[in-house]
Amino acid sequence: MEFSNDKFKQIILKYAVGSEEKSFAFAISFPNMLEIVNSIAEMCPEMECDDFMKNVIVSPKEKEKYARQQTHQD
């Protein structure tokens, strides 16, 4: 998964179907984009990301840390 900072900012998801490589691009203005890319990352933990996407995606460790903080605040 990579971020394209061209005229139309978009996220490009590259994947393989058999031995054929395909790609799917979607605009970052699409509703709930952060939730979508995080869901994709959860379903494909072995996914490779560019540096920008690595900073955007919330890792399971970060979610766990946030949940512990919320529990201790209650």
pLDDT in tens, 12-51: 999 999 999 999 998 888 888 888 888 888 888 888 888 8
Q: Name the band, by pLDDT with cuts 50, 70 and 90, for residue 55.
A: confident
Q: What is the pTM of this model?
A: 0.68
Q: Of all helices (H) and strands (E), which one includes residue 53? A: helix 51-56
List C-alpha distances in Å: 31 to 23, 27, 60: 20, 9, 22
Task: Output the pLDDT for position 42.
Answer: 86
Tokens of 53: 């996407």
Tokens 């394209």 belong to which residue? 4
Closest by CA to 1, choosing from 36, 17, 31, is 36
